Amino acid sequence: MKTLTTKILMALMLLAVATSCTTNNGDIGEWMGRWKLTSIECNGSAVDDYEGNLFFAFQSTVFEVRKVDDYYEHDQKYGTWSDDGKGTLVISFPDERYVPFEVLHFSQERNVLTYDKVDAKGFALTAIASDGNTYTYRLVKW
């Protein structure tokens, strides 16, 4: 009986390991990880009310934007993202519970952002928001 129980437990552990695997160990390339949003510009001018406390995270097709406040309290919003590999990133927030933070000027639907090259030292995303303004988001790997 002990041998049968051991075999069943081993089979369950192997099944758990096999089903938890992800493509390329979860590595999605240059986007992988957490990015600090260092500044936001509107039509070329700095957005004064941005406190420097937002972080973007990319994993698989899940996008997270996290707002960190005093004493490391945080709030996060989740959405989806895709990259066409040609300089266009699309971010959406399909779940109504996760309305994007106002300072980003993102809509819940399709936000199309452009970029030149993703670089851990810093890069910029640019979007034309529904209010007609052009926003530039500067990020560094965190």
b/e string for 40-74 if b means 16 or more Cβ within 10 A? bbbeeeeeeebeeebbbbbbeeebbbbbbeeeeee
**Residue 96 burial (10 A CB sphere; 0-12, 13-18, 19+):** exposed
Task: Pick the closest to residue 66 from 95, 39, 101, 109 (CA basis).
Answer: 101
DSSP 116: S
Residue 25, both tokens: 């160990």
Confidence (pLDDT) at 70 = 85
Instruction: For the chain, give the percent of residues with pLDDT over 90.
Output: 73
**Structure-model confidence comparison of residues 12 and 110, the more confident one:** 110
Task: Tell me the pLDDT band of 2, cut-offs 50, 70 and 90.
Answer: low
DSSP 4: H
| 31-51 pLDDT, tens digit each | 999 999 999 999 999 999 999
Helix, strand, or coil (residue 61): coil
CA 111, 117, 123, 128 torsion: positive or negative?
Answer: negative
In the chain the domains, ranked by start, together with CATH numbers, are: 27-141 (2.40.128.280)
Task: Tell me the pLDDT band of 24, cut-offs 50, 70 and 90.
Answer: very low
What length is written for the chain? 142
| 83-130 pLDDT, tens digit each | 999 999 999 999 999 999 999 999 999 999 999 999 989 999 999 999
Q: How many CB atoms lie within 10 A of CB 123?
A: 17
